[in-house]
Amino acid sequence: MGRPRKGVRVAMLAALIAGTAGALPSAALADEPPASGNWRLKYHETFDRPIGLDNRPWVRDDYSQSFDNVMDDASPWWNNDFGQPWLNQLHSFTTWRKKVRLGEDGWLTASMTARDWDNDGNIEAPPTIRTETIESEGSVAKIDVPDHSGGAIFVPSDALPSQYRVEYRLKTLDFGGRRNGTIFYDGKENGYKLDGRCRTQHPWPEGVNTPGWLSDPNAPYCEWQEVGRGRYGYNGFHYMAIVDFDHPEPRNNHFWHYRRKVLMDGFAQHPDRVGTGTGGIVCNSATGEEYTYAESTYNTVNMWISSLPNYRPGRGGITGNAQRFITDCQGGVDRGSLASAAELQPELMPREDYTFAIERDATGYVMEVTGNFARAGRRTIRFHRNFVVGNNPIWHYNSSPEEYDGRFNGSLFQNGFLGTRQELPNQWPRGSAYPDYFVIGDLYTNVYEGNARIDDIKLYLPRDASDHPGPVSTAPPVISGSVTEGSTLTATEGTWTGATPTFRFQWLRDNAPIDGATSATYVVGAGDYGHQLRVRVTATNVEGATDATSEAVTPVQKGDKGDRGDTGPKGDTGDAGPKGDTGDVGPIGAAGPKGDTGEKGERGERGARGPRGRDAQVTCTIRGSPNRSSIACKITYVTGRAARVKGSARLVRANRTYAIGTKRGLRPTRALKKGNYKLRVRSGGKLLVLPVRIR
């Protein structure tokens, strides 16, 4: 925790301020830490030691269980829209994950996700999170995502308490935007490497009939929505977000649109996407004047909240929460159109950096950023937003049930493109709770590519929280089950207050720990007879750890089996029973003998001889690289006449499709390798299956 701060200190106003949504007074820059008022520092990660991810194995995510039904990577939502062709696209690659806890008490987690494009067990361009040294700045953490299908983030290992402040320093940023007036720099275009590859949102589209996609789940990879350039192109970075579920890991971008509460991010639109429009507006917080995104450097800071979602998206559509943006130019009042609060100046980094912070108090959230901004100069931009303003709540703001009365609950309805409909009730019911987790980094696995360096991640708690160092037990754990040898005892976690904890179990025999007995269940052994068994549950959150112990149970040994008793005297003969009912009709008798076979009929006339079949040969030419180009196949009969292909053509091997198309050409759907294939062609209403060999 305790090294001297590196580089220039900047201070931020950190008082807890209640009230309506609005801008707070800009903080003066000084040397006082932000926690000098109402906060005390709990954790401080300085990245002086290796993070440790390099030593952890990649673990395959087989998607055997979906996180939820609302647009998770393998959610039924996508299958309801696009069926088996979409599942084929999902299984055309493999997803791998790894993570590690770090820092004091393991309070921080670094998490990464990567893609194996051709399912060969090799991750082509894995992301990394490593420490490195910047001259005159010391050690920092570098997040590097060389392929837009990867993700790399920092999150807390446990849920945040009901009130907190999280902050960190952003030392460098290279996730798109202009540098010195152009999006082309360092061999990149808007932060994506200029390597000739297409980069698309495959296989998680924006929705049916959206820009850059023909709504065909059978389309080859490069025909999905291109993010590197074009009318859908963009890059970006999450400076900091607060989300509503535990232990976040990188996933597809649409999943996150339904999970965020408040957010500060960068959204580097490609000029092709901006087109002749404005691309949104940017606020000069020094003058209160607005200018268009098209006039900016594209290195913007958006400060916004997620409000209620679209509970009834259209046919083939995806859901997402209303996005409400806050700037000084609107007096800190949120609005529904894209509006950026400031512009960063990456060219000044790391000599100058930016500090991002989010606070949660009893009434709402504070978003804050400090640094030297384009046009506005050096300043702190800070907004407080109440949990509820009018009919626009912050989505899932309640970290405990008592903070919310159920008024915004609703059912989410999916109108699947293939006609499948589903209702997902109780998206925000009374009695629910959504503890906070922060996320910093690149959390999308189908867009964003680049690198960033960060430092000094800090977690502050209210000063009065020192009187409550951890979860508080309101009911001890309880043991249930039979107390005889071979029986299984089961322990509950007990009941707790405070920030949502994680739990550890330790079974005790006469108050001494039993080796290896650390799960919620315990099998009674012969050595337990005559001893008292208890279970101790340790509840841990960011505020500390607390133990609670159950009442004792004492296993008892079964008594010996008694001798067999004497046989009793024979009883008297009983009275005759009543006459039985008439029996059922008997079975049908056996069949009679088989009759003689009739005379054989006359032989029919021989049918006319069919026309002679035509053999054909196929010549295929691959244009460009096997992964990212097209295949042209020519079919010629032995007579030399070229066959007319009026329908579709599909190149297959081992029941897998490697290219699809028409007579104009085929486009690969997965990497082609040498070997034998079959070309399935519709010609003249018939299906031709022709052998093809690719050398």
For the cut 90, the answer to whether the pLDDT of residue 529 exceeds it is no
For the cut 60, the answer to whether the pLDDT of residue 613 exceeds it is no
At 152 the pLDDT is 98
Dihedral sign, Cα of residue 495, residue 496, residue 500, residue 506: negative
Range in 188-202, 484-498, 634-648, 657-671 the model is least confident about = 634-648
Is residue 534 within a helix (H) or strand (E), and if so which, with residue range? Answer: strand 533-541
CATH number of the domain located at residue range(s) 468-549 in this protein: 2.60.40
For residue 246, the tally of other CB atoms under 10 A from its CB is 16
Q: Residue type for 51, please?
A: I
Could you report the per-residue pLDDT of 559-595, keeping only the tens digit for each? 556 567 677 677 677 676 676 676 666 666 566 566 5
At 566 the pLDDT is 72
At 577 the pLDDT is 66
Q: How far is it, in rounded angstroms, from Cα 390 to Cα 595?
A: 92
Does residue 161 have a cis peptide bond before it, meaning omega lies within 30 degrees of 0? Answer: no
For the cut 80, the answer to whether the pLDDT of residue 467 exceeds it is no
- DSSP-derived letter for residue 558 is P
Strand partners, 130: 142
Q: Residue type for 523, please?
A: V
Establish whether domains 468-549 and 616-694 are of one fold: yes
- Pair of tokens at residue 348: 């000044």
What SS3 class is residue 52?
Answer: coil
Ordered by start, the domain boundaries in the chain are: 22-466, 468-549, 616-694
> In Å, how far are 177, 368, 556 from 304, measured between CA atoms?
20, 11, 62
Strand partners, 553: 533
The strand pair at 39-45 and 450-462 is best described as antiparallel
At 100 the pLDDT is 97
Residue with tokens 């502050």: 460
Centroid of chain to Cα 421: 23
Half-sphere exposure (Cβ direction) of 374: Cα atoms closer than 13 Å? 26
Q: How far is it, in rounded angstroms, from Cα 424 to Cα 72?
A: 14
Query: CA dihedral in degrees (216, 221, 224, 226; nearest 10)?
Result: -170
Domain 616-694 has CATH 2.60.200: no
Q: Residue type for 592, please?
A: G
At 262 the pLDDT is 98
